[in-house]
Amino acid sequence: MKPLAEPAIVVVERGEIEIIPENWRAVYFEWLRNIRDWCISRQLWWGHRIPAWHCRDCAGITVARESPSKCAKCGSTKIEQDSDVLDTWFSSALWPFSTLGWPDQTETCASIIRPACSSPDTRSCSSGSRG
Ligand SMILES: [Zn+2]
């Protein structure tokens, strides 16, 4: 996150982006200069379910776009999807991807969120399981 925070700090320091009201600048800088891990799972009834399946045989975790039929680690079929859902903030960050056609490399998606839509890493996401 730090590589993302640094340019966000710079544009506010230079005045290219203005924080209104002014007193929230301190809060903004505090958050961006002290990046901490954020738990993205919640125990709620609604939301995007965590795309992770737990194996009852080896305790391995399979992460995949589509529901896997077996554990990626040991091949067991005794797997169960994590019952948690993604944090609301995380889910809301998925909105532009959902509405702009990702994982397909649509023209609109590439023009607005080019790094995510065109990076080699995300291209491998569209070919199926990452587990
Ligand atoms: Zn397993």
- The residues spanned by each domain of the chain are 2-33, 88-120
Prediction pTM value: 0.58
pLDDT in tens, the chain (131 residues): 788 899 999 999 999 999 999 999 999 999 999 998 888 899 988 888 999 999 999 999 999 989 999 999 999 999 999 999 999 888 888 888 888 887 788 887 777 766 555 554 444 333 333 33
Amino acid identity, residue 11? V
- Distance (angstroms) between ligand 1 centre and the Cα of 61 equals 7
Helix (H) or strand (E) holding 108: helix 107-112
Ligand 1 centroid to Cα of residue 71, in Å, is 5
Residues 27, 29, 34, 35: what is their CA dihedral angle, to the nearest 10 degrees? 90
Gyration radius from the chain CA atoms:
19
Residue 118, pLDDT score: 55
How many angstroms does the Cα of residue 76 sit away from the middle of ligand 1? Answer: 5
DSSP 17-78: S--SSTTHHHHHHHHHHS------EE--SSSPBPSEEEETTT--EEE-SS--SS-TTT--S-
Quote the pLDDT of residue 102: 79
Ligand 1 centroid–CA 105 distance in Å is 33
Could you give phi then psi for residue 109, rounded to 5 degrees?
Answer: -60, -45
pLDDT at 92: 87
Is the backbone peptide bond immediately before 21 cis, with ω within 30 degrees of 0? yes
